[in-house]
Amino acid sequence: MKFSCWRFCRVLLLLWLAAYSGMLSAKTWYVGILAPRGVQAAQQEWQPWLNWLSTQWENETFILVPMQLADAEQMIADKRVNFVLAPQAQFLSMKTGVEMRWLATLSRMDMAQPKAAELVGSAVWVRKDSGLQDIAQLRGKTIAAVQKNAFGGFLLGYKLLYDAQLRENRDYSLVFTGYPIDQTLLLLDRKQVDAAIAPLCLMEEMQSQGVVDSSQFQLLHPVNNHSVCAGSTELFPNWSLAALPDVPDSLATRLGSLLLQNQADALLPGWSPVVASTRVEEILHRIHRHPFQQSVWAGIKNWVSEYKTWVGITLLLVALSFLNYAWVSWLAWRRQKQITQAYEQMRTYERMMMHADRLNILGEMASGIAHEVNQPVSVIRHYAEGTRYRLQKQQTHTELIPVLDKVIEQVERITQIIENLRKWAKSERNDQSVPVNIAQAVAKSVQFVRLQNDRHLMDIHINIPADLVLLTVPSVIEQVLVNSLLNCWQQQATQVDMSIRSFDEPFLGITITDNAGGFSQEQLDFPFVPFRTNKDQGLGLGLVICERLMRVIGGGLLLDNRSDGIAGAVVTLKLPLKKHSNPKGVKASS
């Protein structure tokens, strides 16, 4: 009995030691995240991501630490956090004394309704009833901003004032509100200031929440920043994640790889390689807010104050300061050049990898389609040719012979389309150009679309010279024309115009204009993105394949919307202008 009790105690002791060793191996990591709109908003935005992150390691836990901009520098210097998530530009003007290892930059967000804590930029707002129309008119005014070292909440707007020859405390006064950043626009709304430098998208977000009425405000110095939010400056790289020195290299490396690989879950933020801060450093250098510049001028001020009675030493200090400034500027320039080169190499490698991956996938698709389709197509052709031969020989049902000719012609078309797809995937150059009568090629494509889609009729007007002949590849032209017309039909277009467009370059365009609503701004900004479609049964490859086919024959595909007040799309097939020397005297392929 004593022996059994002793064995039982030993088992309990071993279990306790195992549990205790597991507790010792567990590690908690604190992630400091800027909270420009308050702690609650930061928790709602980032806590799901940290919860997911904690599930990726068995004994690692990631805790959210919302940071105020005023306290962030000291928290980092005191090592109260292990990771930092914030705009990379924000930390270029801080003197934390801590080396940060940047792991990844945010790349995926909801561009339809972006938030002020997602995009990095500035908007300078005034009230509409103020009569202010330009940045230069802010002379003598009071301006609200977030904080003196806030990049989007002050420094970018400060550069606009600086470029307008307005100087702080001399030409205007500032009121810094701190976090939450909403106070900048609230002060302007209450007419307590004359203008406000607000982070990008803050006005739109507060408008959607019913906090302010955006119709009462006016934007100064509007620019196209390629976002849905009105802004006064360009858009800068998104927020980035950095590891502090106390984080092991193995964990930092694995975390960076995990973020870059996890792109499938749309509910989690997307990540890309760290974006270089070259443009940010240029702006800080321009407005004399670069950390290197600040350290130089602070040293000059201390030296002048200490030796103000010594003229000789003052002159020496001026010379030393000039040399020091030149040296630091050269270091900054060299660093900027190195970062730019590294960034370009990284982007080139990324593009090569994406291109190779896409070509591999589409190459497999093309091979699979060719393998699966060629055999039944060949059988169809043999049956059609055999039937046609028998009818000709027996002189019976001769009215079916033209129908069989059409079948054989369409089989040839299918074979050529498969060949074009294979060449598209392998980037093969197709130089088999022949004289093509453009009007006949267009008419043939229109006839094919009408035969296939007679349930919804489109009124198609063709305005193309009947004798226009170009040296090109007829199968490519017909395939792209048919695809474009099918898109018009699928979008329920009722009116389609087809005409010729001239370019300053040696190109000629076939323009297809419809009245089916047109393209979205995202489709125009990024027109040929694979697998993006708004059709229930579509794969999102039609426009991509057509654009690549046009480039294979030396042309291009242009997308635009109508500018005559009618909601509709304009698709232009851009063809090399290689007219046949005697277009009327040569039989052209159609």
CATH code of residue 142: 3.40.190.10
Question: Which domain-ending residue is among 385, 408, 428?
Answer: 428
Give the model's pLDDT for residue 394: 79
Q: Is the domain of 479 the same as that of 436? A: yes
Structural domain total, the chain: 4
- How far, in Å, CA of 425 to CA of 132, rounded? 56
Q: Is the domain of 372 the same as that of 421? A: yes
- How far, in Å, CA of 385 to CA of 228, rounded? 58
- How far, in Å, CA of 37 to CA of 34, rounded? 9
How many Å separate Cα 113 from the centre of its chain? 15
Question: Which domain-ending residue is among 396, 428, 460?
Answer: 428
Q: Residue 374 is encoded by which pair of tokens?
A: 């060629």
Range of the domain at 423: 290-428
| pTM of the predicted model as reported, rounded to 2 decimal places | 0.44
Q: Is the domain of 135 the same as that of 151? A: yes
Q: Is the domain of 207 the same as that of 154? A: yes
Residue 524 lies in a domain: yes
Residue 585 lies in a domain: no
Is residue 180 reached through a cis peptide bond, with omega within 30 degrees of 0 on the bond before it?
Answer: yes
Q: Is the domain of 340 the same as that of 372? A: yes
- DSSP strand E in 399-478: where? 434-437, 459-463, 469-472
Q: Is the domain of 256 the same as that of 184? A: no
Residue 406 lies in a domain: yes
Residue 35 lies in a domain: yes
Q: Is the domain of 329 the same as that of 366? A: yes
Q: Is the domain of 295 the same as that of 367? A: yes
Residue 186 lies in a domain: yes
Give the model's pLDDT for residue 474: 84
174 three-class SS? strand
- In tens digits, the chain (590 residues) has pLDDT values of 444 555 655 655 655 544 444 444 468 999 998 888 788 888 888 888 888 888 888 888 899 999 887 788 888 888 889 999 888 777 766 666 677 888 888 875 555 566 666 678 899 999 999 999 999 999 999 999 998 888 888 888 999 999 999 998 889 999 999 888 889 999 999 999 999 999 888 898 889 889 999 999 999 999 988 778 889 988 877 788 889 888 888 888 888 888 888 665 666 788 888 877 777 778 887 887 776 665 555 555 655 555 556 656 777 888 888 888 889 889 888 888 888 887 776 676 566 556 555 655 666 666 666 667 766 877 787 777 778 777 887 777 778 888 888 888 887 777 777 776 666 555 554 457 788 899 998 988 888 787 766 556 788 899 999 888 988 888 888 888 888 888 888 888 889 999 998 887 788 999 999 998 888 888 888 777 666 666 655 556 677 778 888 888 888 899 999 988 888 999 999 998 875 544 443 344 54
Residue 100 lies in a domain: yes
Question: Which domain-ending residue is among 384, 411, 428?
Answer: 428
Q: Residue 151 is encoded by which pair of tokens?
A: 């990049």
User: In the block, which residue shows the tokens 């003196």?
Assistant: 148
Q: Is the domain of 572 the same as that of 433? A: yes
Pairing of strands 469-472, 434-437: antiparallel
List the strands of the sheet with 60-67, edge to edge: 60-67, 27-34, 83-87, 239-243, 101-108, 270-272
Give the model's pLDDT for residue 176: 93
- CATH code of residue 545: 3.30.565.10
Q: Is the domain of 534 the same as that of 461? A: yes
Q: Is the domain of 260 the same as that of 391? A: no
Q: Is the domain of 415 the same as that of 434? A: no
For 397, left (φ over 0), alpha (ψ -120 to 50), or beta? left
Give the model's pLDDT for residue 22: 43
Residue 225 lies in a domain: no
Residue 28 lies in a domain: yes
Q: For the range 516-520, what are the long-range contacts, defined as Cβ-Cβ under 8 Å and sequence gap of 24 or more?
A: 516/488, 516/491, 516/492, 516/567, 516/568, 516/569, 517/491, 517/567, 517/568, 517/569, 518/561, 518/562, 518/567, 518/568, 518/569, 519/559, 519/560, 519/561, 519/569
Taking Cα atoms as reference points, which of 454, 514, 430, 442 lies closest to residue 480?
442
